[in-house]
Structure 1
Amino acid sequence: MRIAILGAGPAGLYLATLIKRRDARVDVTVIEQNPPDATFGFGVVFSDRALEFLRDDDEETCAAIAPHMESWEDMTLVLRGERVVIDGIGFAAIGRLELLQLLQARAGAAGVAPVYNRAVTSLDELAGYDLVVGADGVNSLVRRTYAGAFGASARLLTNRFAWFGTTQPFDTLTQTFVDSAFGPLDAHHYRYAADRSTFIVEVGTDTFARAGFASMSEAETRGLCERVFADALGGHKLISNNSIWRQFPVVHNARWSHGNCVLIGDALHTAHFSIGSGTRLALEDAIALDKALAAHRAVPDALAAFEAARRPVLEKLVAGANGSADWYERFGEHMRLAPLDFAMSYITRSGRIDLERLRTLSPRFVGRYEREHA
């Protein structure tokens, strides 16, 4: 079998690794339009038990990545200077480039040699392959080529966000909400190395306009964000890496495959960064697709099995991510709540956690909440 994978991000690299390790005879070509070290952003965060989802299927990759991760068991919300700690909400993080390099090493050990700096402009260039996998992100060529067949849709959320880094280490994943002179801002920040943290600044459309961000340079934007979040940064500066304002794309596909083409990762779906599951979902897509290919000799049967097995799980998680995104679209309204009520609104925003489950996950937080509301 000859397989072409467009995109050498986590989804594409990991799928190629799984396929080649399972059957070295399979001809797998990974094509990436960028150089191997091209990535924006700083750290990537994993929710819940970090890479536990990998242990059953791929203990070696899990063992290779886990030592490089920073982890913690609580998260912190800061509103009007008051800190509310929510216990039991664990996360782990790793540098985005470091994760990419680890996956590149795993792929190389399995015999995968990605082709970098090659931009495929038409799927006609991939004629002759038995399977074409679109692991090529939110602007996927595969999805755009067969948008009608996939039932593809994409929309942008209204909030803007800019992805910075900082040398300020944070004890937990922290959300700092500030009501500035030009409106509410939010910062998502967490450490991904001992001396490095991700610092994502998010604003609504009104704040974006009143602050004049649209006409600012990247350096001017960074400077203003440093002033707004001076307390959280504790004297540290923000670091830029293509830290422009973006709007989060919500990607959905009614059908996951067409002919010999299939989508995975961000090409297939997106999950708002506030739930820390985007990379995890991409890796899980790769696992599910490889299992389907192993179980079915005919490509159409394998792609149908992949979608049938994966869709129910994925749609549940994406629904939670969309619920979280909707909460953030109105985070300025939620900031009017008292800090504890705000924290309860935040932690239940996705619809996946109710008070009873939260009592088990976060007994100290729920205890405080119920005492103050007795």
Structure 2
Amino acid sequence: MRIVIVGGGPAGLYLSLLLKRSGLGHSLQVVEQNAPDAAFGFGVVFSEDALEFLKKDDPAIFNAITPELERWSGIAIHHRGERVMLDGIGFTAVGRLHLIHLLQKQARDESVDVTFNRPVTDLSEFTDADLIVGADGVSSLVRRSDEAGFGTTLSYLTNRFAWFGTTKVFDTLSQTFLQTPAGPINAHHYRYSKTMSTFVVECSESTFFNSGFDRMSEDEAHAALERVFAQTLDGHPLIANRGSIWRQFPIIHNERWSVGNRVILGDALHTAHFSIGSGTRLAMEDAIALARAIAEHPTDVPAALAAYQAQRKPILDKLVNAANASAEWYENFGTHMALPPYDFAMSYLSRTGRMDIERIRKIAPEFTAAWEKHRTLPASP
């Protein structure tokens, strides 16, 4: 089977490795529009056990990534000048570019055919392919080639966000919520190496326009955000790259995951709000599911693609629904900021609807005890 993978990010590279190692003798080609050193964003965060799927399915990749991870336990919520710790919640992180380089090295070692700096504008150049995989992100050409066929819906959240890095190394995954004269604004920040942290700024639509961000150049907005978060940054700069522009988060959904011999995965298929830190994990798990389905039906592309959606969709739907619930909470985080710090932290912790008070009590006993001491609202059922 000749397989062309459009997109050389984590999903595309990982899928190519899985297929190469399947022993089925697939003819593989990965085409990536950017250079090997290009990467949007800075760090990639995972929950503590998010990479456990790799330990079972791909110990080689797991062992390559694990030594590079930064690890910590707990989330710090900064609100009204108070720091509230949520215990019992572990995370890991790694630089996005570093992760891509690890996968690129694995691909080279496996002699996968990867071509960089090759934009694809028309899928007709792959007419000889038995399968075309769209691992080409939010703006996926493979998906856009037949959005009616895929049953695509695309909408945008109203909040604006921008993705930066900083040399301030945070001790844990943290959230800083501020009420400015222009309105509410917040930052998600966590370290992903010994010397760098990710710093994602998010604000409401009204704050965006009231602050004049819509009229500022990138450099002006950059400087303004350094002033807003001066205390959080503790004198450290914000560092920009191509992802450090104001955007609205896209919500992408597809009723059908394949059309003919074209199939999509990762952000091309679905998006998961950055507040739950699962985008890269979900993309890599999509790759595992697709590779497994192809291995089960090595000579029957329609059957493989049907199996991919049937087996993966129920699992994915639960995670995407949780991400959408989290996104909805953030769309209204300014309203939630009316709560005092401990009630606000409880609202944050329960935002996806997956944790009731008993589960929170079990996972974060120290926080729960502090919340029960300080709370002003009754527990949700």
TM class, shorter-chain normalised? over 0.9
Instruction: Map 1:235-254 onto structure 2 (within 5 A).
Output: 235-242=235-242, 243-254=244-255
Shift of 1:26: 1.1
The letter of the residue matching 2:153 is: S
What residue number does 1:289 align with?
A: 290
The letter of the residue matching 2:116 is: Y
What residue number does 1:37 align with?
A: 37
* CA distance in structure 1 between the aligned counterparts of 2:334 and 2:158, rounded to whole angstroms: 13
Q: Is it true that 1:357 corresponds to 2:359 in the alignment?
A: yes
What residue number does 1:271 align with?
A: 272
Shift of 1:39: 1.0
The answer (yes or no) to whether the contact 2:158–2:205 under 8 Å persists in 1 is yes
* CA distance in structure 1 between the aligned counterparts of 2:249 and 2:369, rounded to whole angstroms: 35
* CA distance in structure 1 between the aligned counterparts of 2:281 and 2:116, rounded to whole angstroms: 24
The answer (yes or no) to whether the contact 2:342–2:375 under 8 Å persists in 1 is no
* CA distance in structure 2 between the aligned counterparts of 1:296 and 1:50, rounded to whole angstroms: 28
| Percent identical residues | 58
* Helix, strand or coil at the partner of 1:351: coil
* CA distance in structure 2 between the aligned counterparts of 1:367 and 1:59, rounded to whole angstroms: 39
* Helix, strand or coil at the partner of 2:163: strand
The letter of the residue matching 1:7 is: G
* Helix, strand or coil at the partner of 2:271: coil
Q: Is it true that 1:209 corresponds to 2:209 in the alignment?
A: yes
* CA distance in structure 2 between the aligned counterparts of 1:225 and 1:145, rounded to whole angstroms: 38
Moved over 3 A (4+): none
* CA distance in structure 1 between the aligned counterparts of 2:113 and 2:259, rounded to whole angstroms: 27
The letter of the residue matching 1:249 is: P
TM-score (norm 2): 0.96
* Helix, strand or coil at the partner of 1:38: coil
* CA distance in structure 2 between the aligned counterparts of 1:354 and 1:17, rounded to whole angstroms: 39
Give ranges in structure 1 of 5+ residues lacking alignment: none
What residue number does 2:379 align with?
A: none
What residue number does 1:186 align with?
A: 186
The letter of the residue matching 1:237 is: P
Shift of 1:24: 6.2
Kindly report the root-mean-square deviation, in angstroms, between the aligned alpha carbons of the 2 structures: 1.1
Give ranges in structure 2 of 5+ residues lacking alignment: 377-381
What residue number does 2:301 align with?
A: 299
The total of aligned residue pairs comes to 374
The letter of the residue matching 1:256 is: W
The letter of the residue matching 2:35 is: P
Q: Is it true that 1:326 corresponds to 2:328 in the alignment?
A: yes
* Helix, strand or coil at the partner of 2:33: coil
* CA distance in structure 1 between the aligned counterparts of 2:15 and 2:73, rounded to whole angstroms: 30
Shift of 1:35: 1.1
* CA distance in structure 2 between the aligned counterparts of 1:132 and 1:71, rounded to whole angstroms: 37
Shift of 1:84: 0.4
Shift of 1:346: 0.4
What residue number does 2:158 align with?
A: 158
What residue number does 1:257 align with?
A: 258
Which moved further from structure 2: 41-50 or 67-76?
41-50
What residue number does 1:67 align with?
A: 67
